[in-house]
């Protein structure tokens, strides 16, 4: 089953961070990474107040593969370089499926359920609306494992669509409108749209 690294990075030293950014692919490619989102200005707030300066969404074969990369001697040296030039959070999340699209667009959410019974109505109805717009789940309901930072996710969701137009068509569709109201009455959280690479 696929697994994902989600990073929310704020750069504090542009020149040093650039050295990190150039070198990191040589370490992660050995572990079969597929970068889905990587860069500055790739996100748009849909709900909440989360707006990462630099978002990374990377797909790996498994959590074990992620950890093999993250704790490898090659990457351990780069972690020090990144941490000297940035702040932020990094989490590892189990997926429900792997990515098949290129240049896709994503919905990434961190949801805290406040009314589980009502939320279940949303959870049962939403997959059909996502499928109707060509989307699919990459992550659904995972809590994730914090590798760095203070971000402690509640219920992570990552959806993949063909492009940003499809993301917004789904989000603003009449069939999703009622379900969105149910979700918002039964949970709080953050939802962003992210453009793939």
| H-type alpha helices, the chain | 14-28, 63-70, 73-85, 116-132, 164-171, 174-186
Instruction: Give the pLDDT band of residue 103 (cuts 50, 70, 90).
Output: confident
CA atoms within 13 A on the CB side of 175: 12
Query: What was the pLDDT predicted at 1?
Result: 84
Burial-class residue 14 by CB neighbours within 10 Å (0-12, 13-18, 19+).
exposed
Phi (first) and psi of residue 127, to 5 degrees: -55, -35
CB-CB neighbours of 175 under 10 Å: 13
Distances (CA, A) of 78 to 16, 20, 27, 150: 11, 6, 9, 20
Tens digits of per-residue pLDDT, 63-87? 999 999 999 999 999 999 999 999 9
Q: What is the pTM of this model?
A: 0.92
Q: Residue 83, by phi and psi: left (phi above 0), alpha (psi -120 to 50) or beta?
A: alpha
For the record, the structure tokens of 28 come out as 């992660």
Which of 44, 87, 95 is CA-nearest to residue 66? 95
Query: What was the pLDDT predicted at 98?
Result: 73
Q: Which domains, from first to last, does the chain contain?
A: 3-195 (3.30.70.100)
CB-CB neighbours of 54 under 10 Å: 20
Residue 70: CB partners within 8 Å, gap ≥ 6? 5, 79, 92, 147
């Amino acid at each position: 089953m696929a697994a994902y690294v989600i990073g929310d990075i704020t750069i504090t030293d542009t020149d040093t961070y650039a050295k990190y950014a150039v070198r990191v692919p040589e370490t992660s490619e050995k572990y079969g990474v597929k970068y889905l989102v990587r860069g500055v200005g790739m996100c748009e707030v849909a709900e909440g107040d989360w707006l990462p300066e630099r978002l990374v969404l990377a797909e790996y074969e498994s959590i074990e593969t992620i950890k093999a990369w993250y704790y490898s001697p090659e990457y351990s040296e780069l972690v020090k370089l990144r941490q000297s030039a940035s702040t932020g959070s990094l989490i590892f999340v189990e997926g429900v499926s792997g990515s098949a699209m290129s240049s896709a667009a994503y919905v990434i959410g961190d949801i805290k359920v406040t009314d589980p019974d009502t939320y279940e109505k949303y959870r049962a109805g939403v997959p059909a609306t996502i499928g109707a717009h060509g989307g699919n789940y990459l992550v659904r309901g995972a809590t994730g494992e914090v590798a760095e930072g203070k971000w402690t996710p509640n219920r992570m969701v990552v959806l993949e669509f063909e492009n940003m137009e499809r993301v917004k068509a789904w989000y603003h569709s009449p069939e999703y409108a009622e379900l969105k109201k149910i979700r918002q009455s039964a949970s709080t959280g953050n939802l962003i749209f992210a453009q793939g690479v």
